[in-house]
Homo-oligomer: A and B are copies of this chain.
Amino acid sequence: METETLIPKDRIHTPEACNVAIGAVRDTLYVLNGKWKLPLIVAMQNGPLRFNDIQRALGDITPKILSKELRDLELNEFVIRRVEATKPVTVTYELAEYSKSLNSVINELRIWGIQHKARITSNRRSAVS
C-alpha cells in the first residue's frame, strides 16, 4: 500500500502562502539572528546610550561581543554610532529610523516572554504541590 502524504500535491508543490510565510520568517531571523541584537535595540529605545552604559544595561555581555553586535546593527542601519569630540572622546549609540519598524515585532516578543515566564512559573508550582 502506498502511504499517502497528508498534503495535496498542489499545496506542497506550489509556492503559496505557507511557503511565503516560512521564507519571510526565515528572512527576519536571518537579520536578527543571535542572542543580543533585539535586546540591544530594546536597551536603546529610551534614548542614546554609551558603550559602557549598554554593557551595564545588558548585564552579562562582554565588550568584544557588544562591539561586534553594535557593528552589525550599524551595518544593517538599525543603529547610528556617533563620536562626540569631548575630552575624553565619548561614543554614543542611538537607534536609527529603521529600528522603529521593529516596534511591533519587539512588542510581541516582549509580551510573549512575559506570558511564557508566567506559564512556566505556574507549571512549576503545580508540579510541586
A12 within 8 A of B: yes
How many copies of the chain does the oligomer comprise? 2
Partner of A19, one of B18, B48, B57: B57
Are the CB atoms of B110 and A5 closer together than 8 Å? no
In the complex the two chains form, what is the Cα distance from A57 to B1 in whole Å?
A: 24
Residues of B within 8 A of A7 (CB): 49, 53
Interface size on A, residues (CB 8 A): 58
| Majority SS at the chain A contact face | helix
Given contacts A43-B18, A90-B3, A113 and B57 within 8 Å (CB-CB): no
- Kindly state the separation between the CA atoms of A36 and B129 in the bound complex, as whole angstroms: 35
Task: List which A11-40 residues lie within 8 A (CB) of chain B.
Answer: 11-12, 18-31, 33, 35, 38-39
Interface centre among A6, A22, A27, A106 (most CB of B within 10 A): A22
How distant is the Cα of A48 from the Cα of B6 in the complex, in angstroms?
8
Question: Complex Cα distance A58/B11, Å?
Answer: 14
Task: Say whether A80 faces chain B, with CB atoms less than 8 Å apart.
Answer: no
Tell me the smallest distance from the CB of A97 to a CB of chain B, in Å. Answer: 12
Q: Is the CB of A88 within 8 A of B3?
A: yes
